[in-house]
Amino acid sequence: MAELDDVLVNKFTWKIPNALALVGSRDGERWNAMTTSWIMQLSMEPVLIGVGVDNTSITHELISGGGSFTVNLWSADDTRPFVKFSKPAVLERDGDTITLNGREVEAAPSGAPVFTEAIAWADCVVRQAIDFGTHTLYAGEVVALRIGDDDARAAAMSDTRMKYGGVKRH
Amino acid sequence: MAELDDVLVNKFTWKIPNALALVGSRDGERWNAMTTSWIMQLSMEPVLIGVGVDNTSITHELISGGGSFTVNLWSADDTRPFVKFSKPAVLERDGDTITLNGREVEAAPSGAPVFTEAIAWADCVVRQAIDFGTHTLYAGEVVALRIGDDDARAAAMSDTRMKYGGVKRH
């Protein structure tokens, strides 16, 4: 039995083959999207999808305020946005066109942003929020979705050199 | 906007690049392990890992009774166990050797079984159980772990032809 030290915990959690997506959020005029690898389905009836969001992030603030989020799956052929969306996104408006970090978004039925380039997205209304310590799990009921490109393979964490999870860095 | 029908919901949820692992559970003399794709980290402090477990499964019964579970990551080169462990596992004892579906297990510190063949495992004590409808999310604090093979890549759902999730089948 190995001791439970931080290095081992990081090694283990980084080995979990995580998903990867851009999670859209909005509270009024504030829009954001953030790279997230803590995503999984939580229930089949109702269909609930959960995202784990850092309690200190803007996305946490906007989902708490706005009451919804979106899950945008991205093509494995274009993983560049994931690094870019690891920081708060830059919102720009040009007439009716709204972009986050230069990528076009529109409001899903819940109001939260979805990307026109996403290969698929789901719009989720928060039914429960559970604070587990450093992160809050938002359990969202899927209220709308779109498959943009049914042939594309959705990017996973393993398509990038990114790592996320493990122990809190102090 | 596409309508929210079952086919679309299934398509979307199956596109989420899920993890894959054998989740071990035990209540006294009853031992089991089950293929699970709903796995993700929930918090960094404490380090919590969550698994989503069907409310009608033996694993649900054993985790509820035993109060712990294990997450066993498996090599991507050997995905055969995942189909086998989609049904309740067959326990066999031969002296001190215990197997589930012919694969050797031992008791982790919490008592739940871990596989000697796993490339890595984590032993998790349940801190919260949240029933989301069809499935319960067990949030377990990592109390022990072992990396058996640091070079092997952990299998993901996409390494198999399996699908899990979407809407409840009636």
Judge whether B167 lies within some domain.
Answer: no
Residues of B in contact with A168 (CB under 8 A): 44-45
> How many CA atoms are closer than 13 Å to the CA of B152, on its beta-carbon side?
18
- Cβ contacts of residue A151 below 8 Å, gap of 6+? none
Flag whether A10 is in a domain. no
On the question of pLDDT at A91 being above 50, the answer is yes
What would the pLDDT profile of A114-129 be if each residue is shown by its tens digit?
999 999 999 999 999 9
Does residue A168 lie within any of the structural domains?
no
The shortest CB-CB distance from B134 to any of A19, A43, A134 is to A43
Do residues B18 and B162 touch, judged by C-beta distance below 8 A?
no
- Provide the residue count of chain B: 170
pTM of the predicted structure, to 2 decimals: 0.96
Number of separate domains in chain A: 1
B37 vs B40: CA distance, rounded Å:
9
For B79-101, write each residue's pLDDT tens digit.
Answer: 999 999 999 999 999 999 999 99
| Alpha-carbon distance A129 to nearest alpha carbon in chain B (angstroms) | 11
Question: Residue A170 — pLDDT band, cuts 50, 70, 90?
Answer: confident
Burial of A93 (0-12, 13-18, 19+ CB in 10 A): exposed
Q: Model confidence over B112-159: pLDDT tens digits?
A: 999 999 999 999 999 999 999 999 999 999 999 999 999 999 999 999
Residue A72 sits in a domain whose CATH number is 2.30.110.10
- Cβ contact (<8 Å) for A73 and B11? no
Residue A155's CB: how many other CB atoms inside 10 A? 23
Whether B155 sits inside 8 A of A1 (CB atoms) is no
A60 assigned to some structural domain? yes
- Interface confidence, given as ipTM, is 0.95
In a domain, A1, yes or no: no
Domain region containing B89: 19-159
User: Span A131-153, mean pLDDT?
Assistant: 97
Task: List, in order, residues 6 or more apart from A170 with CB less than 8 Å away.
Answer: none
Query: pLDDT tens for residues B18-57?
Result: 999 999 999 999 999 999 999 999 999 999 999 999 999 9
